[in-house]
């Protein structure tokens, strides 16, 4: 069996393409990287543990892709352009078939986003993957959770909720069968739900636009309602410091939330908004825009071929997420997580097994 050095040479070294001649990546005690002038470094890290953040039977390719994707998604939410990443990998054994597939998933996304692997650590133990990624943002331009204000529009990218359905299918739990085993779901739809869960596309294409126009941003990993809640929490801390009267709540109109065809189909059958509101794992972006910024953002997004939707707005309030349907405020059913069964709001980003 190959030793650790050979494994690194075979599987990780090829991912280090893209550094300049004066930079140093894998192979030394540390990486040496050039820092551009007038930029700030944004650093993010995320760990995925087998059986906690993904089902044990998840394909190695998907694990590799997702380990990087969730980090690039954090960079996108900050408005940063990905620069490089490192990988701390704990493996039960040096299974080369697994490693080849794992690094293929990692490499496909790394090449798509042109982000080189600059180093890491390889250890023996229960399967766990930690990626740390770095990105650059113009000085003072990083987008934070804390900038939302009254009247700002709340927006999301692409569509919401498919990953949560993917988790239902992937776990294939008995109690889920009632709402996911209907013949209405085509093979193609099921595959696309599971793809949304396992190979999320980080929305880095939006990063530049967020820096220019957004008042706040977050990526949707815990679920739409929870993550809008995080924007409220941080923004209200900021607003309270200036004026305790200025605090905000988020008002979201359910019919404005963009849904894939498969999700619309599911909603018809199951009448269950939970995957959309509390599902998590989508790695879409949620952000706020002032009225003035909205038309500029919209134009720029259209020109770039990027899809987003306004789903509501910030109103004066005490930090609640207010859900409305056809303009009517809904009762607390959707808002109170306690009233939902545990699995309904489990997201793998928090570790879905924790909810069992
Ligand atoms: P050290 O003993 O100095 O920590 P290692 O023997 O752990 O170095 O690693 C040797 C080189 O291989 C280092 O440059 C390290 O960054 C790189 N490396 C080790 N594991 C990985 C990995 N999983 N992914 C990428 N690079 C790695
Ligand atoms: Mg060393």
For ligand 2, the distance from its centroid to the CA atom of residue 39, given in whole angstroms, is 29
For ligand 2, the distance from its centroid to the CA atom of residue 87, given in whole angstroms, is 15
What pLDDT, on a 0 to 100 scale, did the predictor assign at position 170?
83
CA distances to 12, 210, 236 from 286, rounded to whole Å, are 33, 10, 17
C-beta pairs of 260-267 under 8 Å, 24+ apart in sequence:
260/159, 260/161, 260/162, 260/192, 261/189, 262/162, 262/165, 262/185, 262/189, 262/192, 262/193, 263/159, 263/160, 263/161, 263/162, 263/165, 265/184, 265/185, 265/189, 266/165, 266/179, 266/180, 266/185
Pocket lining: 89 vs ligand 1, CB cutoff 6 Å: yes
- List phi, psi (to 5°) of 218: -155, 155
For ligand 2, the distance from its centroid to the CA atom of residue 27, given in whole angstroms, is 9
Residue identifier of the C-alpha nearest atom 7 of ligand 1:
121
For ligand 2, the distance from its centroid to the CA atom of residue 28, given in whole angstroms, is 7
Tokens 């054994």 locate to 93
Tell me the ligand closest to 26's alpha carbon: 1
For ligand 1, the distance from its centroid to the CA atom of residue 12, given in whole angstroms, is 9
Residue identifier of the C-alpha nearest atom 27 of ligand 1:
120
What pLDDT, on a 0 to 100 scale, did the predictor assign at position 242?
84
Pocket lining: 122 vs ligand 1, CB cutoff 6 Å: yes
Structure tokens, 44: 């993010």
Pocket lining: 139 vs ligand 1, CB cutoff 6 Å: no
What pLDDT, on a 0 to 100 scale, did the predictor assign at position 3?
82
What pLDDT, on a 0 to 100 scale, did the predictor assign at position 355?
34
pLDDT in tens, the chain (356 residues): 578 889 999 999 999 999 999 999 999 999 999 999 999 999 999 999 999 999 899 999 999 999 999 999 999 999 999 999 999 999 999 999 999 999 999 999 999 999 999 999 999 999 999 999 999 999 999 999 999 999 999 999 999 999 999 998 888 754 455 566 555 688 888 899 999 999 999 999 999 999 999 999 999 999 999 999 999 999 999 998 888 778 999 999 999 999 999 999 999 888 999 999 999 899 999 999 999 999 999 999 999 999 999 999 999 999 999 999 999 999 755 554 443 444 444 567 766 543 32
For ligand 2, the distance from its centroid to the CA atom of residue 29, given in whole angstroms, is 4
Residue identifier of the C-alpha nearest atom 1 of ligand 1:
29
Which of 119, 128, 131 to mutate for ligand 1's pocket (most ligand atoms within 8 Å of CB)?
Answer: 119
What pLDDT, on a 0 to 100 scale, did the predictor assign at position 153?
98
Residue identifier of the C-alpha nearest atom 9 of ligand 1:
121
Taking the C-alpha atoms of residue 85 and residue 114, their distance in angstroms, rounded to an integer, is 11
DSSP string of 101-115?
HHHHHHHHHHHHTT-
Tokens 């953040």 locate to 53
Closest Cα to residue 91, out of 128, 142, 117, 133? 128
């Amino acid at each position: 069996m190959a030793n650790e050095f050979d494994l690194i040479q075979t599987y990780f070294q090829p991912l280090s393409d893209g550094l300049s001649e004066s930079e140093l990546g894998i192979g030394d005690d540390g990486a040496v990287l050039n820092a551009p002038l007038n930029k700030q470094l944004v650093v993010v890290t995320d760990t995925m543990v087998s059986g906690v953040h993904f089902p044990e039977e998840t394909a190695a390719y998907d694990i590799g892709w997702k380990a990087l994707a969730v980090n690039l998604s954090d960079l996108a939410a900050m408005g940063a352009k990905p620069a490089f990443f490192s990988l701390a990998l704990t493996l039960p054994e040096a299974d080369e078939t697994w490693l080849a597939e794992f690094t293929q998933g990692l490499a496909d996304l790394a090449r798509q986003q042109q982000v080189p692997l600059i180093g890491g650590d390889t250890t023996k133990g229960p399967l766990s993957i930690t990626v740390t990624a770095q990105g650059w943002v113009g000085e003072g331009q990083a987008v934070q959770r804390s900038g939302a204000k009254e009247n700002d529009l709340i927006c999301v990218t692409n569509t919401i909720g498919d990953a949560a359905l993917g988790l239902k299918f992937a776990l294939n739990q008995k109690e889920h069968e009632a709402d996911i085993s209907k013949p209405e779901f085509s093979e193609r739809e099921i595959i696309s739900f599971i793809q949304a869960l396992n190979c999320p596309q980080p929305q880095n294409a939006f990063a530049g636009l967020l820096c220019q126009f957004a008042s706040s941003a977050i990526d949707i990993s815990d679920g739409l309602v929870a993550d809008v809640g995080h924007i409220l929490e941080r923004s209200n801390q900021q607003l309270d410091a200036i004026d305790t009267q200025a605090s905000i709540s988020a008002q979201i109109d359910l019919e404005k939330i963009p849904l894939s065809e498969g999700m619309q189909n599911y909603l018809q059958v199951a009448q269950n908004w939970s995957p959309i509101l509390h599902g998590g794992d989508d790695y879409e972006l949620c952000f706020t825009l002032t009225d003035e910024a909205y038309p500029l953002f919209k134009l720029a997004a259209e020109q770039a071929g990027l899809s987003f939707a306004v789903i509501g707005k910030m109103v004066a309030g005490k930090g609640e997420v207010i859900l409305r349907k056809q303009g009517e405020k809904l009762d607390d059913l959707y808002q109170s997580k306690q009233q939902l069964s545990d699995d309904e709001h489990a997201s793998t980003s928090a570790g879905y097994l924790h909810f069992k």
